[in-house]
Each structure stands twice: as C-alpha cells, then as structure tokens.
Amino acid sequence: MSKAMLVIGIIILAIITFGVVNIVQNYQTGNELDYYLLRETAEAAMTDAVDVGYYRLSGLLRIDKEKFVENFLRRFAENVSNSRSYDIGFYDINETPPKVSILVTSETASSINGEALGLSNKIDVILESKYHENKYITNMTRSGELNYSEVDK
C-alpha cells in the first residue's frame, strides 16, 4: 500500500510541477511578446503618422496625434492574442518633436485563487532624423508672413 501511495504522490507532484511551469512560461512569454509588439507597433504607427506636408515645407518631423492613435490601435488589435484583455494608455503624445509614451497592461489567462497575473509594459518612443533648418521658413513663420510660393528658394 505504501508503494501505491508513493506512486500517486509522485504523479500529483508532477502534475503540480507542470502546472507551475506552464504558469511561469505563460507569464514570461506573454511579457516578452507584449513588449516587442508594443515597440514595433509604436514605431510603425509613428512612421505612418508623420505629416509629410509639414516635413517638405520645413524639414522638421511632426506627427498627427489622431492619426498615430488610430494607426496604433488598428495595428495592435490585429496582432494581439484573444485569450487576454488589454488596457492601453497614452500618457504623452508630442507632435513636435515626435514623442509618445504608451503603457499597455494585460492579464494572463491563468489565475490563482481568482487573481490573474498582470503584465505591464511601458515604452517611450522618439522619432528622430537629421534635422536641417530652413531659414526662410523660420523667419517668415516668426514674422507671420509665410508665402508658400517662395519655399524652394
């Protein structure tokens, strides 16, 4: 009888071990996937949100806030897992120079005593380029007399 109880104990211990390994793997893999998804999505959405007309005119980068948020949410929603719920927070969006701060929190599918494990990833993205200043645009903008016909001079 003691050998049978020993075998049952080993089987129960193995099942518990596999469960713990599965929870840890789910947590670690989910955190890594969320981070890379957040980073790549933010970079792509910022590139799509660049105001091309403003860049051609002044040589400076500027993003459109609404276009960035729309692109980010669309891209993020296309690539996330349906097994978790996500909470996305935009904490800072600067148009010029282009900078965004995003916090994404999610909960894993596994739970212990009804409490789900939470994942939180925050990223700050700054879009840079080799800036050149167009003296004509700077002077005309400051004086309030911007004439678009002479931009190429």
133-152 mean pLDDT: 57
Task: Tell me the per-residue pLDDT of 54-75, one tens digit each, with 9 for 90 and over.
Answer: 877 777 788 999 999 999 999 9
Q: What confidence category does residue 4 fall into, taking pLDDT thresholds of 50, 70 and 90?
A: confident
User: What pLDDT does 118 receive?
Assistant: 75
User: Phi and psi (nearest 5°) for 102?
Assistant: -130, 140
**Residues forming beta bridges with residue 22, ordered by sequence position:** none
Share of the chain above pLDDT 70, in %: 72
Instruction: Please answer whether residues 102 and 90 qualify as being in contact, where contact means their C-beta atoms are separated by less than 8 angstroms.
Output: yes
Task: Tell whether the model's pLDDT for residue 31 goes beyond 90.
Answer: no
Task: Tell whether the model's pLDDT for residue 27 goes beyond 70.
Answer: no
Averaged pLDDT of the chain: 79
Alpha helices by DSSP H, listed for 59-125, are 65-79
- Please state whether the peptide bond connecting residue 97 to the residue before it is cis, i.e. omega within 30 degrees of 0: yes
